[in-house]
């Protein structure tokens, strides 16, 4: 049984490996400049949405079942035809070249080595082609609209040719938010300082345009940034391939609801017709298990893997995924479930967050402001 020991403590592994996400984050904090750290860690305005993402996760407690024979625990799954070792996706992050020299290509390599899927941001370097051929693992491409339907059609052709199997259109960013952590540095990420012409196309996007775009494009289209049951129903009706519940990690609309708080209404609106992905505040395997129990098919991580990339490039990401997989398996075993399909809402109870707030990483130095 491999689940009894932390991955780093299983015999024969190099001793320099990170053993915990805490160690990865601490290392990222050492190597990133203050402005890049704040670019990654920050949210919009007062960062209330970002805080809510964690709070919503912390409100759920587990109701474990015992005597269930969990000698073998399976956390593998399939999403839009992609086989995943663990239902944790690498969310799209712009300007990743600031975090590690190979940028999004390193994220694709790390995800492939960890047995999961990377979503490459349209505002990260290197090019979509260079990131697309960085590894053979499953990958999707996230698109911000910067042109008309012909432009989108041409982008979709390149995306398909580069081996991506789905297009992810981000719909929670009709305009760019106000990011105060970043403004303190009088600094903008490259995605904002160059190549941001055509932003009006993102603002003009509506369901009618989406329907025309859907007709033209062969690739499955995932809608990222759905935050209400009403829009989830529209996504189903308009032929989306999956609903991706997200508030952009609290980086867009402030005072929005948390991904984990929205999830139940989306699960009931979608009614099993499409896969559901959720993100926002996921930092540990237990968070992943909670989302699955609430009815999500997969979870995405953003900042957490950006820290892993900063700490050790693609190897940092695959190590992080190993750590998360171990956490997911141990949580499942202690809940009494041997496969993901056994996870149900009655494994959870919603209540108040732990008194005094919950600290996902109690052994992280206090001066690190996540």
Ligand X SMILES: Cc1cc2nc3c(=O)[nH]c(=O)nc-3n(C[C@H](O)[C@H](O)[C@H](O)COP(=O)(O)O)c2cc1C
- Residue 100, judged by CB atoms within 10 A of its CB (0-12, 13-18, 19+), counts as buried
**Part of the chain binding ligand X (CB under 6 A), chosen from 227-235, 264-272, 277-285, 307-315:** 277-285
Q: What is the nearest approach in angstroms of ligand X to the Cβ of residue 113?
A: 20
Helix (H) or strand (E) holding 61: strand 60-62
Indicate the burial class of 354 (C-beta count within 10 angstroms; 0-12, 13-18, 19 or more): exposed
Segment interacting with ligand X (CB under 6 A) among 231-239, 276-284, 322-330, 345-353: 276-284
- Taking the C-alpha atoms of residue 30 and residue 319, their distance in angstroms, rounded to an integer, is 18
Give the catalytic positions in this structure: 248
The region, left, alpha or beta by phi > 0 then psi within -120 to 50, assigned to residue 313 is left
Residue 149: other Cβ atoms inside 10 A = 15
Q: Which stretch binds ligand X (CB under 6 A): 15-23, 194-202, 244-252, 349-357?
A: 244-252
Do the strands 82-84 and 276-279 form a parallel or antiparallel pair, or are they unpaired? unpaired
Among 246, 286, 330, 331, binds ligand X (CB under 6 A): 246
For ligand X (CB under 6 A), the number of binding residues is 25
- Residue 140 Cβ, how far from ligand X at the closest point, in Å? 11
Residue 91 binding ligand X, by CB under 6 A: yes
| DSSP secondary structure letter of residue 258 | P
115 binds ligand X (CB under 6 A): no
Chain length of the chain? 370
CA dist 255 and 247 (Å) reads 10
The nearest distance, CB 364 to ligand X, in angstroms, is 16
Does the footprint of ligand X cover residue 93 (CB under 6 A)? yes
CA pair distance 260, 54, nearest whole angstrom = 9
Binding flags for ligand X, 15-54, as an x/- string (CB under 6 A): ------------------------xx------------x-
User: Closest approach of Cβ 338 to ligand X, in Å?
Assistant: 27
Residue 119 Rama label (left phi>0; alpha psi -120 to 50; beta): beta
Residues 209-238 that bind ligand X (CB under 6 A): 224
Q: Judged by CB under 6 A, which of 240, 267, 282, 296 binds ligand X?
A: 282
Nearest to 293 by CA among 349, 241, 242: 349
Give 97 or 333: the residue with its C-beta nearer to ligand X: 97
Residues of this chain that interact with ligand X (CB under 6 A) are: 39-40, 53, 91-94, 121, 123, 142, 170, 224, 246, 248-249, 251, 279-282, 301-304, 306
């Amino acid at each position: 049984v491999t689940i009894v020991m932390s991955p780093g403590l299983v015999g024969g592994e190099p001793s320099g490996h990170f053993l915990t996400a805490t160690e990865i984050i601490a290392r990222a904090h050492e190597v990133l400049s203050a402005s890049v750290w704040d670019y990654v860690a920050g949210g919009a305005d007062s960062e209330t949405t970002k805080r809510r993402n964690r709070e919503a996760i912390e409100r759920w407690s587990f109701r474990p079942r015992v005597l269930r024979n969990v000698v073998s625990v399976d956390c593998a799954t399939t999403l839009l035809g992609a086989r995943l070792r663990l239902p944790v996706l690498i969310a799209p992050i712009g300007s990743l070249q600031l975090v590690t020299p190979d940028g999004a290509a390193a994220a694709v390599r790390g995800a492939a080595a960890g047995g999961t899927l990377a979503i490459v941001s349209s505002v990260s370097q290197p090019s979509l082609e260079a990131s697309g051929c960085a590894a053979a693992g499953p990958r999707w491409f996230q698109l911000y609209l910067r042109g008309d339907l012909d432009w989108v059609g041409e982008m979709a052709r390149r995306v398909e040719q580069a081996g991506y199997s789905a297009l992810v259109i981000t719909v929670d960013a009709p305009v760019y938010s106000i990011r105060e952590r970043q403004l303190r540095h009088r600094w903008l990420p490259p995605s904002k300082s160059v190549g941001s012409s055509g932003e009006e196309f993102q603002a003009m996007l509506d369901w009618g345009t989406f329907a025309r775009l859907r007709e033209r494009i062969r690739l499955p289209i995932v809608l990222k940034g759905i935050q209400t049951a009403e829009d989830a129903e529209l996504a189903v009706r308009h032929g989306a391939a999956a609903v991706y519940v997200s508030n952009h990690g609290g980086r867009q609309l402030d005072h929005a609801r948390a991904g984990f708080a929205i999830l139940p209404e989306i699960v009931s609106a979608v009614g099993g017709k499409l896969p559901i992905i959720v993100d926002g505040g996921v930092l540990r395997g237990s968070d992943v298990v909670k989302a699955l129990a609430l009815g999500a098919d997969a979870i995405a991580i953003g900042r957490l893997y950006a820290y892993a990339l900063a700490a050790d490039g693609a190897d940092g990401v695959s190590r992080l995924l190993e750590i998360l997989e171990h956490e997911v398996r141990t949580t499942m075993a202690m809940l009494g479930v041997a496969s993901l399909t056994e996870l149900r809402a009655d494994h959870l109870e919603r209540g108040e967050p732990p008194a005094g707030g919950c600290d996902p990483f109690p052994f992280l130095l206090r001066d690190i402001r996540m």
